[in-house]
Chain A
């Protein structure tokens, strides 16, 4: 009986979540590239939602389309060769794809900001740190230089840069990787964005500095009530920061769930394999259970389910038809794209 109550409780929670207006929604987004080998379907029918104040973790292997989906939101996909083939991106209910470029500038860096893995390439080496933090507030908030400089010093203080009054006049190359990432965060946060997209923000950093940067992002998020799209290949980082997770494979979301549900019981054969590969969870001395084979190239995805060549329970059905992303329970949050969910339980 208590089980039934619990299930009912969960359903209502899910329903509330479903009913809440998402801040950002991707609907069947497809972003492709024209390459010498043919069309690379980097992102090929991706849907996910981010609610106000929440962190969505986007995980998956290299080349699965995580960054391209984020760059599509920011309109930073190089074009040519890239183009949006179909689908929609909705921010606060408005279709981003139908906004003209000039108007989009008031959203990028203002309402939606982004930080990258390698801050050195994102920062301009010939401008001081202060100039770069000031740029966004001068552009979007119309502050004069003196006020913008004050604001920049405040932002540098906020992100934990020691002696911000002098650091504001230094150049990016004079800083360590961790400090540069803090500067990137200061720039991204300077206009109080509703959504922060962080693409592998800590991958290039030591674990100690990673912990500091993740703590900083969480702290700023709580202060400002902003939403975060956190892209990472590190499941442990997601476990520590996100409320929901989308697992991507070969240009698709194959599983979406709350972190608790995904980490308690991943349901897609790829997600299951990913967890088994973690040395973190493996017994010392026991062999790791690696997923055989490798990620297919974006120009040559297999027919049907794209995970099929590496999946141990694949059948003819998997080769002939692409499994849709469906809810485990009617109206529930946890969704999985696999034809053989029952068999996958036995993996």
Chain B
């Protein structure tokens, strides 16, 4: 029997373990560290390019002095008023969306589970449309978006009949809520005049243009609080991947872990939507790419966060520097890139025969 034959096979040690004294020991994957390192470098490069390229760009050698506050005049204004806040908001919003997507995908055990699909983003659009065009001036757009997102999630929560405990019901009801929200947006747009609709369209696609430091504070506060929460939950989420029963049998209390994770995911996504509008696809695509690159199971929170920050800041860099006659909202670009990625993914699965 195979059991007897390999009993004395030597046990290879676990890839590596980070130990600090007796009180800390964590498994560390070399591959994840490598991917993380590469992404950090990519982020720095994208950040530097964002600040230096184009007619308003700060010269490469002037970046450090400007950051130190040693430069006055044009460079300082570009950094503190134009590109600086935009970059800082883009990085954090990308990370927030990606972690939100990673959480949703893990708790629904579905690669399509993301704030886009379960109605959060379209709820935010509906909120923005309502307060931008239907009752203009009542509330600022971001607050309207926030309300819309919360309303959509409340509909999902009560629509399932079991709260956030059943993955398939969340997806089904979410898709319904999403469709209803989008229909509402269309209705508002058709009702409104063409000019007003054009103004709102930029917001509805998600845009990082004209961000200020208030936006930056909001989104950074959200990620500084919520991403550690996601990290704390991630071990229980790894177990949920094996099915709720197995997770419960291991002591992970799957229902509670799922409800907490979804709350964190909603918090992150609404924060991102309120500062940058409903940017499409980052939440869906970033965790998938992160997972494929780091080749590990589980929600991959940190890798997803870095990947989301990279993708969104890269997309925003492109919208700023592409030689087009109009400036696209960054959401249009992420939608195009995400669409291409989804196509590639589906094609790969179809070739493997797993579609």
A and B associate: no
